[in-house]
Amino acid sequence: MPTTTIAGRTLDVNEEGFMTNPEQWDEALGAELAKLIGVDMTEAHWAPIRFLRSDFAVQHETPTLRRVSTQAGIPVKDLFALFPGKPAKKMAYVAGLPKPKGCV
Amino acid sequence: MTETASKRLLVLGAGTAGTMVANKVLHKLPDWSVTVIDRDDVHDYQPGYLFIPFGMNTPKQIRKTSSHFVDSKANLVFGELTKIDPHAQSVALSDGRSFEYDYLVIATGTTPRPDQTPGMLGDEWHRSVGEFYTYEGSVSLSRRLADMTSGKLVVHICELPIKCPVAPLEFAFLADDFFRRKGVRDAIDITFVTPLDGAFTKPVASRELGALLEQKNIHVEPDFMVESIDQEAHLLMSYDGREVPYDQLVTVPVNMGADVIAASGLGDELNYVPVDKHTMRSTEFDTIFALGDAGNLPTSKAGSVAHFSVEVWLDNFIDLVSGKPMSEAFDGHANCFVETGNGKALLLDFNYETEPLTGTFPLPKVGPMHLLRESKANHAGKLAFRHIYWHALLPGRPLGLPAAMSMSGKEVPPAVETVTKPNIPTF
């Protein structure tokens, strides 16, 4: 299992760089991860990230954009504005969670 | 015969899973009272929807009556489901009838929902905005494609999961072949628009299928999350501001489980029933199972999954009603033929743990089917399956295909080299 060092911390990651151990994450680290992909975290950014973390704790799966929009009440359009381009993957990266599974 | 107290099984839906369940349960538990409720008496062979636009199946070949396939000992009821009450163990219909159960199987499937994407429904629905996930849509597309001699054909997936996730790729491949035979392929652009980052979800299949798309000169527009459709301007528009023009759009609308699941508080955000992925039992109610496309199993929504999971479920159900622990675990096995045009197809065989791999099926080296590689034998297998479906699968006869996936014949890729310094993901 590869590891990497971000903000002085050693983290377990997969070959793409996504964290594989959600326990190693806290919000300070989340802010560092966000910087690495060019996102400056604001309260608006934290709302979906906090939802991702709490939903993952229960479902053991990273929620899809639809799930974030219906369960956390944040429109998909807003998620694209906050995390441009690929919000589902970017949010998962910042939240220290696996990429949401594209169902086969 | 198994020794159990005779009880009531209620099955919602007389599609692939529901019909198999009713027939198999009545075979094993002939004293049980089995009631099946469906909206109407129509049973379509849904894989045929893909073939109708290209004249490869006729509408008549794929549509039959449900009652013909459900064991005559079952009580087959037609009506609109309005509410499931899991505490009272009863189900209500819109006409006021209600049915009580000891066990409930929800097999109401998944349905395309064009109402979920702004601009999809409108005057051009089933015209320049086409789809092939319903009988009507498929038949109307056959007329559209017959008339098309030039322009932009766009094959599009709104959002996953969808029923038969390879079908849109197959549509693109068959369209390439269809227009080639008509001699107009050079005048028609084909674009495949997907919310995924490639042709498919899993790496090996994505690579193989992506190569086929390229070879057939089908352009891929990846990571495209549709926001709306502009029917007047003939544009597909994404949340990140991209626009894809079309002359003929073939879209796969958002797929959702039945409204009755939402109305009963039994579903997730797409109205799928959360279930244990090995037993298909509701995570909330011990007397409820969801089979076929109605549950949230993390595998393909496909007929083969319905088939394999019903077989595992049946063994478990017999255990359960005999007072024993359920001894079987479904592995997520799916087995999907992918039409690639020119009389060929490739085959995917996978489960929860193993992604679709290359190799031969079912036997090592001799096959006769090829995994993830085009062959005429695969195509013949796919075409023959319609007969097997009507005459063996639905009646509940054994097909001799093991429910659990086998690694026999599969080529396992070498383990990915350990990356010591992973990059920051590219987005």
> What secondary structure does DSSP assign to B114-161, as a single string?
GGGSTTSSSTTBTTTEE-SSSHHHHHHHHHHHHH--SEEEEEEE-SS-
- Supply the DSSP symbol for B202: S
d(CA B176, CA B307): 31
Closest residue in B to A93 (Cα) is B425
Q: What is the pLDDT of residue B422?
A: 57
d(CA B370, CA B385): 16
Chain B residues whose beta carbon lies within 8 Å of the beta carbon of residue A4: 421-422
Q: Cβ neighbours of residue B180 under 8 Å, at least 6 residues apart?
A: B341
Q: What is the pLDDT of residue B81?
A: 98
pTM: 0.94
Prediction ipTM score:
0.89
For residues B17 and B43, the answer to whether their CB atoms sit within 8 Å is no
Chain A residues whose beta carbon lies within 8 Å of the beta carbon of residue B165: 103-104
B422/A14 touch (CB, cutoff 8 Å), yes or no: yes
Chain B residues whose beta carbon lies within 8 Å of the beta carbon of residue A97: none
**CB contact, 8 Å: B416 with chain A?**
yes
**CB contact, 8 Å: B276 with chain A?**
no
Tens digit of pLDDT for each residue in A43-67? 999 999 999 999 999 988 999 999 9
- Model confidence at A99, pLDDT cuts 50, 70, 90, reads confident
d(CA B119, CA B137): 17
Which residues pair with residue B220 across a beta bridge? B192
The whole-angstrom distance between A52's CA and the closest CA on chain B is 15
Closest residue in B to A68 (Cα) is B269
Q: What is the pLDDT of residue A16?
A: 85
Q: Which of B196, B239, B420 sits opposite A77 (nearest CB)?
A: B239
Q: Which of B268, B269, B422 sits opposite A4 (nearest CB)?
A: B422
A103/B165 touch (CB, cutoff 8 Å), yes or no: yes
The whole-angstrom distance between A93's CA and the closest CA on chain B is 8
Tens digit of pLDDT for each residue in B51-108? 999 999 999 999 999 999 999 999 999 999 999 999 999 999 999 999 999 999 999 9
Q: What is the pLDDT of residue B416?
A: 58
Give the residue ranges of DSSP H helices in B148-202: 167-182
Other residues' Cβ atoms within 10 Å of the Cβ of residue A14: 16
Tens digit of pLDDT for each residue in B291-313? 999 999 999 999 999 999 999 99
**CB contact, 8 Å: B240 with chain A?**
yes
| Mutation target among B202, B224, B225 for the A interface, most CBs of A within 10 A | B225
For residues A32 and A6, the answer to whether their CB atoms sit within 8 Å is yes
In the residue annotation, A45 being an active-site residue is answered as no
Q: In the predicted model, what is the mean pLDDT of residues A16-23?
A: 92
A66/B268 touch (CB, cutoff 8 Å), yes or no: no
**CB contact, 8 Å: B221 with chain A?**
no
Q: What is the pLDDT of residue A75?
A: 96
Dig out the tokens for B188 from the structure: 């028609």
Other residues' Cβ atoms within 10 Å of the Cβ of residue B418: 9
The whole-angstrom distance between B135's CA and the closest CA on chain A is 24
**CB contact, 8 Å: B421 with chain A?**
yes
B424/A36 touch (CB, cutoff 8 Å), yes or no: yes
Chain A residues whose beta carbon lies within 8 Å of the beta carbon of residue B167: none
A102/B223 touch (CB, cutoff 8 Å), yes or no: no
A15/B161 touch (CB, cutoff 8 Å), yes or no: no
- For chain B positions 345-404, those within 8 Å of chain A (CB to CB) are 350, 355-356
Tell me which residues of chain B have a pLDDT lower than 70: 1-5, 415-423
d(CA B147, CA B184): 11
Q: What is the pLDDT of residue B1?
A: 46
